[in-house]
Structures are given as structure tokens and as C-alpha cells.
Chains A and B, each alone.
Chain A
Amino acid sequence: MGSQGQAPESLQGENQRKWQLSRRRLLKLAGAAGATAVAAQLGAGLLREARGAEEEAQATPKRLRRWGMIIDLRRCDGCQSQGTPPKCTAACIEGHFAPEPMEWIEVYEHELPGGGTQFLPTPCMQCQNPPCVNVCPVGATWSTPEGHVLIDQNRCIGCRMCMAACPYERRFFTWGQPTVPLQSLFLEYSPEHQVPAKKGVVYKCDFCPEMARAGRLPFCAQACPQHAIYYGDLEADLATNGEAVVRFSQFISQENAFRYKDDLGTNPRVYYIPGHGEATGRSPDKKGKLPTRWTWEEKVKGGKTWKRQ
């Protein structure tokens, strides 16, 4: 493992928080201004941090989870059979209010050596030797002990060094003021669910750590109609696609799983089982997928969009 950034201390506590309507945020929105509010916030913050540390101390004897993903390409047909744009991408965009043109999990169409194509859904690879984390000048992106690579958008200065470093191009920049839906204003910001979006900083797939903690699959895995995405814990050696449970290590060995650009030595936590959607009956010659739409953004006004290019 390479040198990794350290999580800012204030965020250690935040890891423990659930995705929920925040009291602090609500207070702020209600307009409880002035010194009292500031003092209350400060007090609450300190308390929470102390509590976080306590919880962490209690959690130490537990085994540390090591989250990973297996994408079964035999089952992925780029949602051709559904007649829709890839549903994993759509669900991720809806779940995270990802502004256009961000596709945190993007379905690439790769040429196959003998002609025809395969589909390759690419989330952030959650590298264990992450080039992006190594180059960040301010420690705004870091590896958690559980193996997630996260970004603190309140720390990011927008130098885009990490975007130059990422060999998978899984990082996205808010070039202009992104659209912010009203409901996302009630969510308290955390690097684990990067809403509401801000201008001039970097975003990427966060591997849905809060969903995992709550015992649910990430948005992309939940949405896949073919159950092609397995999510699991390498420590417990289990993974599930919502339909079946497999032994993580055994499954990737038996099915000859590979890692994208493995020769770069980035040591990703995302595994692919080779295929071109044959389990869905797709022929490799059937090319093309429908373009992604940002449906939530079509309902909300304001903000800017740009092209990924």
C-alpha cells in the first residue's frame, strides 16, 4: 500500500453518522442565527466528536471490513434488453444528485479482440495504492481503513492534480455552479454522500459506505436488473448481488476475475468477471447503448451543465 492521506480528524466522527436529516442543518435553515446558535453548534460538534471517538474505541475489537465489488460482465448488456440507458448509472445519479455530466459509474463499450463489443461498468476502482490520494496537496482525498477512497469537498482546492493522476478517469470536476435540488439542502454534507454539490471541486464514486453500514447494497448494485454487481466484504469473504451470496475469494478465482488495468499496480478493489452479456442472451455484435439522462436535473432549475468531452 502506498502512502495515504490521513482523514481529517473532524471526519472520523462523521464516519459514524447516518444519512439523515440533520438537526444542525435544519436549525441553520430555520434561521436560528446569532451567537447562541454558534455556541450550540460548537458544543454539539465537540460532543459528537467525543462520542465518535468513544464509539470508535468500542469498535476496535470488531473485524475491520474491507469492502469490494465484483462485476459480472457475463450479465451486463448495457441495459440493451431493458431498452433504457444503463440503470446502474441512472440509479447512482438519482441517489447522489450527481450533476450532469457526471457518471460516477460509467458503462464503457469496449471492443473485443475478435470484433463486437462488451460493456464495462466502471465505478471508482477504490485502489489500495491510489495514485489520486498520493498526489493530493491538501489531504482532501484519502483512503479509509475499510478501503474506501473518499473526497472531502470542503477541503478540496480544485487543483485537479488527482484527475491527472487517476488512470481510470473516475474523477469529475464541477466546472461551473452545479444544480442543487431543494431536498439535498436538508442533508448534512459528508464525504460519504457528497451532496449538495459545490462549484470548483472534485467528485467521484464513494462506494456508498453509508449504505453498506446500513446493510444495503449501493445504488448501482440495487438497480441492476441482471444482478451483475456484487458488493461485499473481503474480510468476511462474502459478496452479494441481492439475489445470491457468494464467497468473495472463491468466486473471483473460479470465474477468472480480472482487475481493470491491473498492470499499473494500483491494486483496485473492483473485480470483473469476463463476458459480454452472454447470460442475458446478448450477442457481442449488438452494439450501442442509450445515452445517460440526468432526470432529476430536468426537474430542477438553476445551475449549469457542461460536456464531459
Chain B
Amino acid sequence: MEAAVGDARQRLEERSLAPLRRTGPLYYGLILALLLVIAWGAYVYFYQAQEGLIVTGMRDRLSWGLYISLFVFFIGASMAGTFVSAILRITQAGWRKPVTRSAEMVTVAALVVAALFVTFDIGRPDRLLFLIIYGRWESPLIWDIYGLSTYLVGSLIYLYAALIPDLAFVRDRLGDSVPALKRWFWDAFSLGWTGTPSQHRYLSIILVTMMILMVPVAVMMHTVTSWIFAMTLREPWDSPLFGIYFVGGAIFSGTGIIIILMAVLRKVQHLEEFITEKHFSYLGYLMAAFALIMIFFNANEFVTHAYKLRGHIALHLQETFVGTLAPYFWTYFWGGLILPVVIVALPFTRNVAGLVVAAVLVNIGMFLERYLIVVGGMHLPLNPYPVPTYTPTWVEWSLMAAGASVFVLIIAVMVKLVPSMAVWEMLEEPAGEGDLGEAQPQRAARTARGGVQ
């Protein structure tokens, strides 16, 4: 048994170090492709800055569009990370260990991209600093900016603190075999970690403090994002449900993003032994539960609105269910809510491939949901005139692609600098459920089958 655990440890170390040691041509291809898209995005952005927002599809009567939808979407994606990882750490769920790192990476990358989309939407990016210089605390937008920066800094601390032992581990193992820049990075950022008991004590104090702090901060972040909309007098947005609705939606789509990222890392870095089907099905259950919660929220929203049909709500419901927004809504409803629940519920689709499909569906659905919230709330005429139309232009699509590329790029760079699982947690607490002790029977089974592992 001892020897077997030692074996598993060695394989864990090998697997987590391999991507940092070698980089294949596919990776460089990916980075190149991402950089090309980002370069195109930069060109388009300067074009937009020069011409003004006239190059977008937005106009006075529908003055927020794809950028704000994407801002909300990426804020939502960020939720999962720190929130899921903190909740799992607080509840001491042993199976969290291979999951937390990728979740935290998603948070950081998504927040950076969310901030990017706000900048795309602003008419005078040259005055962006005014938000700091003249910021008024009465404005929901300022709450969001303070919320976002607090959340980003907190997430970075949380991600980084849990990284220190792994950085030291990588430094010790690979210190001599890599370029000087990487060596310097590991050396500088591992802060002289040697794994002494006092270092562990301090680390656990930081982690416990951060994980307790990050949960309310994450909830606050999504609530104030919803308040940007809920603080206005537009009927579909004018709802006390909005805060919790956004929090729920954020955990929902964020979990989906973690599933996708984990599946990619598992495949690319050959982590099948450590990130098992069980991890996917646990995250799948979480996602399905939140799909049901989202259905509950939607039912609440529509039924209370539909019963009274106050103001423009009749038009809003008509547009949503059978009008111009109906294709988006029904794709969201059937594809983004019902189908993922079915995939998770059926035993023969509840596997890695099935859950990745479900997670992709959830994220497409949630993107459409964000779009429905922003455009659906905006397109109700407040004065006697026809319903305004909005079609995003090539400029908006280009910047959407560039933003998404930045998101992937940040994660792609991170997984080449640090191990994509919390190796030290998996190594040092073998008593928990779902770590190396857990990997054992599987390995035994594989050996019995004469597996190549």
C-alpha cells in the first residue's frame, strides 16, 4: 500500500510537471492563433476609438448591446472560480483538490476580460481614469468597479497563496532545466517556501481567511452587477429578484466553464488518473442543480410579471416568447436549461464527453440569457415609437472574438507557468476523500486490466 501510494505520488508529480517542462508545436500554434485574433481586435478597437461607437449597432434607443452582455457574461463566468473553490474548501470536500486551481484561474481571466468589455463600451475611453478621480459612490457603476477590483485582487491573492507551495515544488524540481526567465519567476514568487510547519501555518491562515472573505465578496460582485440594471426604471429590470438571479446564473455558467477547462486540461496534460469522471459528475450535479434554480427564477420572474401585465410587460413577454427575441429565449430554455439537466440526469450520458457538451450548452444558453436581459430590457419603447432593432456589427463580433481570445490566452499562459492542479494539497493531505488514496483502486483496476499506466 505504502509503495503504491508512493508510486501514485510520483506519477502525479510527473504528470503535473510535464507541461511545464515541454511545450509542443500545437501549443505554439494555439498561442499564435490567439495572438492573431487579439491583434485584429486591437486594430478594430482603434478603429472604433477613432470613429466613435457609430461603428456598432447600438443607438440612442438601444444604447447597450453585445459589449454589456459579454461584460455580464464574463462577470458570471468569474463567479464559479473563487466561489466554487472557496465553498468546496470551506466544506472540506476532498474531491475539490484537482478542481480548485483551474476554477481560480477562470476567475482571474474572466474578471480581466469583463473589465475589458466595459472599456469597449465606453464612449470616451480617454477619460477612463475619471472613474477613479471623480467616482461617485451613489452610482451602481462605481459599485461595480469597486466590486470588480476588490474581487480581482482577492481572487489573485487567493489563487497566489494556494500557488506558493507548488511554485516552490516546481522550482525545486525543474529549477535547472528551464530558461532563466521561468526560473526567476518560480524563484521569486515561491517566496522562499521550504514547507516548514510555521510556513504551513501562515499559509493555512491566509487560505482560511481568504476563502471566508471571498464568498461574500463574490456574492456582492454579482449582486452589484445586477443592480446596474435593477436600479433603473425599465420594467423587465425593475425587479428585486435580480441580485440573486445574477448570483445563481453566475454559479451556473461558471461551473460550466470549469467543466470545459478541466476536460481540456485533463486531455492535454493527461491527467485522467487525477481528474476522474467522479469530479465531472460532482460538478455536473452542481450545474444541474443550478439549472433547476434558474428555471425556478425564470418562472418567478415571468409569472409575477405576466399576471399583472403592468406597463410594457405584455410587449416584453410577446417579444420574448414569440417575437424577435424568441429564438434566443427558446434556445436558452431548451438548450441551456432543460437539455443539460437531462444529460446530467441520464446515467449513460453522465460521462466526461456528455458533461462537456452540457457545459458548452449551458454557456451558450447563459450568453443568450445575458443578451436577453440587456437587449430585452433595452428594446421596450418608453415613448410612442416602434420597437427598436439591434444587430451587432462586425466591429462588435470582432471585439467579442478578441475578448474571448484574451480569456483563453491568460489561461493558456498560466498553465505553462504553474501546475494546473493543487499538487501540494493532493500530496500532503492524503487522508481526504478523492485524493491519492482514492486514485488507488482505479490504478489497481487498470493494472488488473493490464493497462498501460
Residues of chain A whose beta carbon lies under 8 Å from any beta carbon of chain B: 3, 5, 8, 101, 106, 108-111, 122, 131, 134-140, 155-161, 163-165, 167-169, 171-177, 199-202, 264, 266, 304, 306-309
Contacts and interface: CB of A to CB of B under 8 A. Distances in A.
B138 A169 contact: no
A229 to B, nearest CB: 19
B134 interface: yes
A137 B123 contact: no
A224 to B, nearest CB: 20
22 contacts: A5-B136, A137-B136, A137-B142, A138-B127, A138-B134, A138-B139, A155-B130, A156-B123, A156-B124, A158-B124, A159-B122, A163-B63, A164-B232, A169-B60, A169-B382, A171-B60, A174-B123, A177-B52, A200-B52, A202-B123, A304-B52, A309-B61
A150 B125 CA distance: 22
B9 interface: no
Contacts of A168: 382-383
Contacts of B63: 160, 163-164, 173
A110 B384 contact: yes
Given A110-B384, A176-B54, A200-B123, A157 B128 contact: yes
Contacts of A8: 134
A158 B234 contact: no
A159 B123 contact: yes
B388 A157 contact: no
B121 interface: yes
A198 B418 CA distance: 48
B135 interface: yes
A109 B386 CA distance: 12
A135 B52 contact: no
Contact of A174 (B52, B61, B64, B378): B52
A151 to B, nearest CB: 13
Secondary structure type dominating chain B contacts? loop
Given A111-B384, A159-B121, A165-B232, A136 B64 contact: no
Contacts of B234: 164, 167
A165 B232 CA distance: 5
B139 A161 contact: yes
B100 to A, nearest CB: 34
B217 interface: no
Interface in B130-146: 130-131, 133-136, 138-142, 145
A157 B53 contact: no
Nearest to A5: B136
Contact of B136 (A138, A167, A177, A307): A138
A109 B384 contact: yes
Given A110-B384, A168-B383, A169-B60, A158 B123 contact: yes
B410 interface: no
Interface in B49-65: 51-54, 56, 58-64
B233 A138 contact: no
Contact of A157 (B60, B131, B385): B131
Given A157-B124, A164-B64, A309-B60, A138 B135 contact: yes
Contacts of B383: 106, 108, 122, 168-169
A309 B59 contact: yes
B389 A135 contact: no
Contacts of B342: none
B5 interface: no
B388 A309 contact: yes
A136 B138 CA distance: 8
Given A110-B384, A158-B122, A309-B389, A131 B54 contact: no
A302 B438 CA distance: 72
B378 A164 contact: yes
Contact of A137 (B54, B145, B232, B385): B145
B444 interface: no
B139 A134 contact: yes
